[in-house]
Structure 1
Amino acid sequence: MMGTVLAAIAIVFNILSGGLFLSPENLYNIAQQTAVVGVVATVVVLIIVARHIDLSVGSVMGFVGVLIATLMYTANWHWVPASLAGLAVAIVVSVYQGALTAKLGVPSFVVTLGGLMSFRGAAFLVADGKTQPVNDQFFQRLGGGFDGAIGVGPSWVLAAVIVLALVVQMWAKRRAKASYGVPNNPLWLDAAIVLVPVAIVLAFVASMNSYQIMNKDAPQGIPIPVLIWAAVALVLSFIVHRTRFGRYVFAMGGNPEAAALVGIPVRKVTLMLFALMGVLITIAAMVSIARLNAGTNSLGTSMELYVIAAAVIGGTALAGGSGSILGSVLGALIMQSIDSGMLLLDVSIGVRYVIIGQVLIAAVVFDVIYRRLTGDTV
């Protein structure tokens, strides 16, 4: 469903922009710009599934990003210890907010609303409102840009590995069904189903390999921020589908009281969930300041709108209990595609904000209507 919506958006904006939207340059920019929102959206999905919300993600990201940049530029720290310090601060902040919710029962909406204001102020105080440049060339590659991609050859190698993994996964499912006596789909049908993601992967890599920055002697290939986003999405998907923690999160979202009665440590899981939020906020902050080559106190402004919208558009129920990591990926791409398309059409920033806000409302309305029609009360 969301994949169809994304394709329709791309086609409409491509027609309206005279073919600019689906150009390799624009697709490259969309891919690396979406990565920061996409990284945070993956964990926001789990926060919402567990019947919580985090309105402070943008402010905390700004605070952590400015802190890392300040340690690197003003204190002359190497980017590794500076990033670890930022990670420690982000975890402390997130666990602090999680503890107020898990231990004292303060609604996460209230806690993180306060955090939205407080940590935006903290971001200003860390560097006294001054922009902190980021000069480390290796660190700058994390944000994409001129040297922030892996090149043509490695991109095709990675595409081949992904295609092989998809084929092996399909074959393993067929063998597992056969071993348990479960009827298989016709081989041609399973092959056709696998061809869809294979085609998407190959088309994406071909597009990234077609973009070449002026004054550079080779095409870019896949941006490093996209690889970071993909790695985060894969790890979160594994946590959701293969770990006890992931099952606990969805059980809590479905019915918190029943989850507690059957022995699920609700408070501990909530704290772990907010700590995970701190980890991914740090990753997003690193990518963001690397892309901007600086840390500013305005970093992450309105991030909460984009990540919540990405999660909801991707199918996460605001009432909790259901959501998916893949949905957040598609939701983030839809949000960034709309924003990028309007930018190409020279739509003013005020109108863009109006439209993006209404897209979020439309997604929630759709979710409510869908659940009423299907009788899903989760």
Structure 2
Amino acid sequence: MADASASEAPTQRKNIFQTLEIDTRLLGMVGAFIVVCLVFNLLTDGRFLTPRNVFNLTIQTVSVAIMATGMVFVIVTRHIDLSVGSLLATCSAMMAITQTNILPSIGLDLGNPLIAPIAIIVGLAVGALIGAFNGWLVGYLAIPAFIVTLGGLLVWRNVGWYMTKGQTIGPLDQNYQMLGGIGGTLGETASWILGVLAVLAACFAIWSARKSRISHDFPVKPVWAEFVLMGISAVLILGFIATLNAYEVPTRVLERQFEARGEVLPEGYSEGYGLPFSVLLLVIVAVTMTIVARKTRLGRYIFATGGNPDAAELSGINTRFLTVKIFAIMGILCGLAAVVASARLSFHSNDIGTLDELRVIAAAVIGGTALAGGVGTIYGAILGALIMQSLQSGMAMVGVDAPFQNIVVGAVLVIAVLVDIIYRKRTGAK
């Protein structure tokens, strides 16, 4: 009797996991992230998980995370892009020159409300053109992506250098700088409103997915499990907003803001920064890329091509033009990342984006994107970027030398790939 019970227990546990549709890989990543945070919080005497450091950690993660969402598509289709850091530098240089040289020469000086949007459009256009050119070389001329983008790593970094003549360009437009992080935030009230709307949207998405599965006669999770997922989503979203709101604006900054309005700072008055515009931009990119991956024909073509390129081509998918599209999307995201990176610095520097190609690839791979193609998630890449940045920030706070930080990040990348290989062998995943 005992033997029968013992034999039934594993089966029951397996059925529960299947019913709840728990992604064990994601749980492992979340667990690793929590361990990293707790360890560094202990080593830094509680400074790692303070609202200030969480705020800084999020804005430092944004540029790499934005590019990592595009790298998922690139790697899923069995390609690689080693030029993203250099492409970021070229887009940043072009936007800096547009703001400080080109637009002022036609009467649009810094401070003009048109400066920032025009510069951003220019940067995105440059990124899209260069990315499409890379995709054309790979898709239509059949040059391996590794070679094309390795050459791009050298070419575009130095194109940016020649564009600026090796000089640092700045300061950049104040409105433009608001996309960099601490210079542009929603404030407490707007952040809470957005957080509540995000919770409602998450609950609606979960319930809509359930109704869709029912309408197609697919199995669904128990109702209580759906509500548990809604509760977890609400706690995570509102907890994140509460943490960012807890990071208070320094008193001297508030005094200057009140003085600029001709007012006096009330005694005891405090104000939190709230959600940075750059993080909001990352959220928009993540949602958009997830919708593209899951709900559009382009997304289905991308994963079908990654799963079996020959079968995809035989089924009528224009894989060559698809490659151009994917690299163009990667270029646009490099342009967006350049906006965030240069706005956070408030100037363009020639070493901006250095080694970002390695960080972006590592974030995507750590996030579960298979180098063999066909498998990858947007949220996994963002979580991978957050884990990477947490490791680097934590080691910097502890006082670890930069060379050793790179050693640790490299080792984590190799271990992540090894764990992914072992996971796929044991679960039979492709």
TM-score grouping bracket, smaller chain normalisation: over 0.9
Kept in 2: contact 1:68–1:85 (CA 8 A): yes
C-alpha separation between the residues in 2 aligned to 1:306 and 1:353? Answer: 10
Residue 197 of structure 2 is matched in structure 1 by 161
Describe the shift of the 1:174–1:88 C-alpha distance in structure 2 as closer, same or farther (beyond 3 A): closer
1:18 aligned residue? 45
User: In 2, distance between residues paired with 1:321 and 1:179?
Assistant: 27
Q: Distance in 1 between matches of 2:317 and 2:385?
A: 31
Q: Tell me, which stretches of 5 or more residues in structure 2 are unaligned?
A: 1-27, 109-114, 255-270
Match for residue 237 of structure 1?
290
Aligned match of 1:44 in 63, 71, 81?
Answer: 71
* Residue 100 of structure 1, CA deviation: 1.0
- Paired AA for residue 32 in structure 2: V
Instruction: Kindly indicate whether the alpha-carbon contact (under 8 Å) linking 1:72 and 1:134 is maintained by their aligned counterparts in 2.
Output: no
**What's the offset of the Cα at 1:84?**
2.3
Tell me: CA distance 1:244–1:210, structure 2 relative to 1, closer, same or farther (3 Å).
same
Cα-Cα RMSD = 1.6
Spell out the pairing of 1:68-79 with structure 2 (5 A cutoff).
Answer: 68-75=95-102, 76=104, 78-79=115-116
Counterpart of 2:76 in structure 1: which amino acid?
V
What residue is the counterpart of 1:128 in the other structure? Answer: 165
Say if 1:111 and 1:188 are closer, same or farther in 2 by CA, change over 3 A. Answer: same
Q: Distance in 1 between matches of 2:415 and 2:295?
A: 33
Q: Which residue of 2 aligns with 1:117?
A: 154
Matched, 1:140 2:177: yes
Is the 1:142–1:291 Cα contact (8 Å) retained in structure 2?
yes
The 3 A distance-change label for structure 1 pair 299 and 182 is closer
Q: Tell me, which stretches of 5 or more residues in structure 1 are unaligned?
A: none
Q: Does 1:325 align with 2:371?
A: no
8 A contact 2:135–2:324 mirrored in 1: yes
Residue 172 of structure 2 contacts residue 343 of structure 2 at CA under 8 Å; is this kept in 1? no
Kindly indicate whether the alpha-carbon contact (under 8 Å) linking 2:313 and 2:319 is maintained by their aligned counterparts in 1.
yes
**TM-score between the two structures when normalised by the length of structure 2:** 0.84
1:229 and 1:189 mapped to 2: Cα distance?
28
Task: Give the residue type in structure 1 aligned to 2:56.
Answer: N
Aligned to 2:138: 101
The answer to whether the Cα contact below 8 Å between 1:17 and 1:344 also exists between their aligned partners in 2 is yes
In 1, are the aligned partners of 2:362 and 2:413 still within 8 Å (CA)? yes
Please give the alpha-carbon distance, in whole angstroms, between the structure 2 residues aligned to 1:370 and 1:316. Answer: 13
Q: TM-score, normalised by structure 1?
A: 0.95
Partner of 2:425: 372
Does the 8 Å contact 1:64/1:89 carry over to 2? yes
Contact 2:126-2:335 within 8 A present in 1 as well:
no
Aligned to 2:394: 341
2:317 pairs, out of 258, 261, 264, with: 264
CA–CA separation in structure 2 for the residues paired with 1:235 and 1:259: 24
Alpha-carbon shift at residue 297 of structure 1 (Å): 1.2
Q: 1:182 to 1:239 in 2, by over 3 A?
A: closer
Q: Offset of 1:81 from its aligned partner?
A: 2.5
**1:166, distance to aligned residue in structure 2 (A):** 2.1
Question: C-alpha separation between the residues in 2 aligned to 1:202 and 1:238?
Answer: 23
Contact kept in structure 2, 1:54 and 1:108, CA below 8 Å:
yes
Identify if the C-alpha distance between structure 1 residues 151 and 359 changes in structure 2 by more than 3 Å, giving closer, same or farther: same
Name 2:3's counterpart in structure 1. Answer: none
Query: Partners of 2:329 and 2:210 in 1: how far apart?
Result: 35
Task: Give the Cα–Cα distance (whole angstroms) in 2 for the partners of residues 173 and 375 of structure 1.
Answer: 26
Aligned length: 376
CA displacement, residues 107-131 of structure 1 (integer Å, 9 cap, x when unaligned): 0001100110111111110100100
Q: 2:81 maps to what in 1?
A: 54
Shift of 1:213: 3.1
Q: Kindly indicate whether residue 230 of structure 2 is the aligned counterpart of residue 194 of structure 1.
A: yes
**Which amino acid is 1:224 matched to?**
F
Q: Secondary structure at the match of 2:253?
A: coil
Q: Higher Cα Rg: structure 1 or 2?
A: 2
Distance 1:349 1:38, change over 3 A: same
- The whole-number CA distance in structure 1 between the counterparts of 2:170 and 2:403 is 29
**Worse-superposed segment, 301-310 or 131-140:** 131-140
Contact kept, 8 Å, 1:70 with 1:295, in 2: the verdict is no
1:8 match: 35
- Structure 2 residue identity aligned to 1:321: G
1:166-196 residue CA offsets vs partner (Å, 9 max, x unmatched): 2223333444455566675443332222211
- Distance in 1, matches of 2:237 and 2:223, equals 21
Is this contact kept in 2: 1:70–1:132, CA < 8 A? yes
Question: Aligned partners of 2:216, 2:150: CA distance in 1, in Å?
Answer: 51
